[in-house]
């Protein structure tokens, strides 16, 4: 498998993994394609994402995109985070092999699910 | 270049330097087409004959029962289609853990209107002879069951399976690509009708397969042309590869016993060390008889491609049966056939040793595997949130 330098770097040096206790939003998504799983935890203060962590059971591309996605949404407003697409994440990593594009969708979906969870919790 | 710690001998083996040396003249001064008239050509033909004798001896066959072809896959195809296509219909039987070359050949025949039975295996990767007995039908023409499995190393009771096939009037083919060179393979005592081999799994070159066809049996060719290989597989011979394969066979005959013993000790030792150092793993294909060089484990809660990628940063080369590391994005059909869950197949790692494996390769693996597993488990939701 040939991954870009940035993908391998992000995969090897990933930092934002693990759980956030008492997270304000949790998104749990799975990949029907190959059975991978990604959980996203968000800490949100005044509509701003102050912390974001992930847990991923999946390939290099899945881990690298989760990791990059966390970097891209931290410090951002919730509405801005919703705009972070899998395309943007992939581009930030200098692309993915075509057969690995589906893994990046997980990161986008995970963030959306976590934010939805946050909004739901707030409205109840 | 960074040193490579190669632990993937079941994928392919390096060509033994002694084999390379034997091959080189056949690319230059001994380039002749063995079918030509002049004496140089005849001498090349003699070399091919000698290689055939050497390879036949290794398999317990007669030289005239051995045919050269393009690779192990082609050899499997030739035995399976070559048998079945002699009739418009019929039944064939194979197992759930065959190599894709066999499984997909059988499936193609099924699409073409033939009947197919795929036998299951038990949790350790063995076909139950009773299952074969029950699956045999009046119109069963061929049974194709591998000698030893490439992923987990389980060795099938080939002689018994062949006997059952024969009792019911069917022919028996075995893919021995992964077995040859690692354990004794003898077509006489096992009484198989067809056997497939590949040179590059036994320290020979890529691009050369072999088919054993018992005397008196007929196969329908799949390619047509001149009279090479008695018309069964026409095409100008891959002379250098054939000579190389002959030398590879000679080396296997001389060294296999001692090699096998060493590799088995190291493999067993490695298994113990892994079991000690990494909690919550599964051994896939844990029972004897199994290939002495193969160890397949599932490191639960993490994914194989990630494992391979982290190990590769340390120069380690291995394989995985994970869905993510396969082109089809399906997990290993072998591991699923053992009854492993999708998740456990995900975290599988195949370690295969061979002739040039050094102790330091294994030590190097043990330096990096436990920390790799731990790191990926820290990232995995299933490890963090597991009960217990
Ligand atoms: S997560 Fe399975 S292929 Fe990427």
Q: Identify the CATH number of the domain in which residue A47 sits.
A: 3.90.1010.10
Q: What residue owns the CA closest to ligand 1's atom 3?
A: B324
Could you tell me if A89 and A104 are in contact, meaning their C-beta atoms sit under 8 angstroms apart?
A: yes
For residue A28, the chain B residues in CB contact (below 8 A) are: 381
pLDDT value at A31 more than 90: no
Domain with CATH 3.90.1150.10 in chain B: 5-12+256-384
Q: Which of A49, A63, A103, A107 is catalytic?
A: A103
How distant is the Cα of A19 from the closest Cα of chain B, in angstroms? 8
φ, ψ at A15 (rounded to 5°): -120, -35
Which residues of chain B does A14 touch, with a Cβ-Cβ cutoff of 8 Å?
Answer: 379
Amino acid B376: pLDDT = 97
Q: How confident is the model at residue B383 (pLDDT cuts 50, 70, 90)?
A: confident
Q: What is the pLDDT of residues B343-368, one digit of tens each?
A: 999 999 999 999 999 999 999 999 99
- 3-class secondary-structure state, position A4: coil
Question: What is the pLDDT, as a whole number, of residue B325?
Answer: 84
CATH 1.20.1740.10 fits B17-251, yes or no: no
Determine what percent of chain B is predicted with pLDDT higher than 90. 95
Residue B78 has pLDDT above 60, yes or no: yes
pTM of the entire predicted model: 0.95
Q: Which residue has the higher pLDDT, A2 or B310?
A: B310
Q: Which residues of B touch A96 (CB under 8 A)?
A: none
Q: Show the ligand 1 pocket: residues with CB < 6 angstroms.
A: A 31, 34, 36, 58-59, 61-62, 100, 103; B 323-324
pLDDT of residue B388 exceeding 50, the answer is: no
Please provide residue A42's backbone torsions phi and psi, each rounded to the nearest 5 degrees.
-125, 140
Compute how many other C-beta atoms are within 10 angstroms of the C-beta atom of residue B61. Answer: 23
Mean pLDDT of chain A: 94
Q: Are B234 and B228 in contact (CB under 8 A)?
A: yes
Q: Summarize the confidence of residues B106-121 as an average pLDDT.
A: 98
Q: A44 is in which domain, residue-wise?
A: 5-123
Every domain of chain B with CATH number 3.40.640.10 lies at 17-251
Cα separation, B248 vs B65, whole angstroms: 19
CATH number of B5-12+256-384: 3.90.1150.10
A68 touches chain B (CB under 8 A): no
CB contact under 8 A, B379 and A39: no
In 3D, which of B127, B137, B184 has the Cα closest to residue B160? B127
User: Inter-chain contact A11–B301, Cβ cutoff 8 Å?
Assistant: no
Question: How far is the centre of ligand 1, averaged over its atoms, from the C-alpha of B300 (Å)?
Answer: 16
Q: Min CA distance, B381 vs chain A (Å)?
A: 5
pLDDT confidence tier of residue B326, bands split at 50, 70 and 90:
confident
pLDDT at B288 over 50: yes
What tens digit of pLDDT does each residue of A79-123 get?
999 999 999 999 999 999 998 999 999 999 999 999 999 999 988
Q: Which residue of A has its CA nearest to B314?
A: A12
Of B250, B376, B246, B251, the residue nearest B324 (C-alpha): B376
Residue B118 C-alpha to ligand 1 middle, in angstroms? 29
Decide if A119 touches B, using CB distance below 8 A.
no
What is the per-residue pLDDT for A1? 64
B281-283 and A48-57 beta bridge pairing: unpaired
The verdict on whether B324 is a catalytic residue reads yes
In this complex, is the C-beta atom of A1 within 8 Å of any C-beta atom belonging to chain B? Answer: yes
Catalytic residue among B100, B223, B309, B324: B324
What per-residue confidence (pLDDT) applies to B134? 98
A123 Cβ contact list (under 8 Å, min separation 6): none
Task: For residue B322, give the DSSP letter.
Answer: -
The per-residue pLDDT for B1 is 54
Q: Classify B316 as helix, strand or coil.
A: strand
Residues in A closer than 8 angstroms to B309, CB to CB, are 1, 3, 8, 11, 60
**CA A72 – ligand 1 centroid, Å:** 21
Q: Is A101 on the interface with B (CB under 8 A)?
A: no
* CB atoms near residue A45 (< 10 Å): 9
ipTM: 0.95
User: In which band, very low, low, confident or very high, does the pLDDT at B385 lie, cut at 50, 70 and 90?
Assistant: low
CA of B18 to the centre of ligand 1 (A): 41
Question: 3-state class of B34 per DSSP?
Answer: coil
Q: How many domains does chain A have?
A: 1
**Inter-helix orientation angle A5-13/A60-73, to 10°:** 80
| Mean pLDDT of the region B233-249 | 98
């Amino acid at each position: 498998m040939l991954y870009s330098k940035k993908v391998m770097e992000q995969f090897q040096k990933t930092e934002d993994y693990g759980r956030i206790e008492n997270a304000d939003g949790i998104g749990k998504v799975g990949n029907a394609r190959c059975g991978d799983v990604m959980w996203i935890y968000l800490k949100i203060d005044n509509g701003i994402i102050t912390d974001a962590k992930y847990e991923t059971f999946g390939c290099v591309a899945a881990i690298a995109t989760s990791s990059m996605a966390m970097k891209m949404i931290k410090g951002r407003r919730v509405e801005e985070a919703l705009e972070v697409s899998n395309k943007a994440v992939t581009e930030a990593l200098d692309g993915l092999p075509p057969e690995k594009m589906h893994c990046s969708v997980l990161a986008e979906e995970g963030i959306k699910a976590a934010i939805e969870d946050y909004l739901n919790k707030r409205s109840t | 270049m960074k040193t490579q710690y190669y632990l993937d001998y079941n994928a392919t083996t390096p060509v033994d330097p002694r084999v390379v040396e034997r091959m080189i003249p056949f690319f230059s001064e001994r380039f002749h087409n063995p079918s030509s008239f002049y004496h140089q050509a005849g001498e090349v033909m003699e070399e091919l004959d000698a290689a055939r004798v050497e390879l036949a001896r290794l398999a317990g066959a007669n030289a005239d029962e051995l045919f050269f072809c393009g690779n192990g896959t082609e050899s499997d195809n030739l035995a399976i289609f070559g048998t079945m296509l002699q009739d418009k219909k019929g039944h064939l039987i194979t197992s759930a853990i065959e190599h894709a070359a066999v499984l997909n050949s059988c499936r193609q025949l099924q699409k073409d209107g033939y009947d197919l039975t795929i036998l299951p295996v038990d949790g350790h990767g063995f076909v139950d002879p009773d299952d074969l007995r029950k699956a045999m039908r009046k119109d069963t023409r061929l049974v194709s069951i591998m000698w030893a499995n490439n992923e987990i190393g389980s060795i099938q009771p080939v002689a018994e399976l062949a006997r059952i096939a024969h009792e019911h009037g069917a022919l028996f083919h075995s893919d021995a690509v992964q077995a040859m060179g690692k354990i004794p393979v003898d077509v006489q005592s096992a009484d198989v009708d067809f056997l497939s081999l590949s040179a590059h799994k036994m320290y020979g070159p890529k691009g050369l397969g072999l088919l054993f066809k018992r005397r008196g049996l007929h196969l329908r060719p799949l390619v047509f042309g001149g009279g090479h290989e008695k018309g069964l597989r026409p095409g100008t011979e891959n002379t250098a590869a054939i000579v190389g394969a002959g030398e590879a066979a000679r080396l296997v005959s001389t060294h296999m016993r001692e090699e096998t013993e060493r590799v088995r000790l190291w493999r067993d030792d490695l298994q113990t060390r892994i079991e000690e150092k990494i909690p919550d793993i599964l051994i896939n294909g844990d029972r004897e008889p199994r290939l002495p060089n193969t160890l397949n484990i599932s490191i639960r809660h993490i994914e194989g491609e990630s494992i391979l990628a982290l190990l590769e940063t340390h120069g380690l080369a291995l394989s995985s049966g994970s869905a993510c590391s396969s082109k089809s994005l399906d997990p290993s059909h072998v591991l699923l056939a053992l009854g492993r869950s999708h998740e456990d197949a995900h975290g599988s790692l195949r370690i295969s040793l061979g002739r040039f494996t050094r102790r330091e390769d294994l030590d190097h693996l043990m330096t990096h595997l436990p920390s790799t597993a731990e790191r990926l488990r820290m990232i995995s939701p299933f490890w963090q949130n597991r009960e217990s």
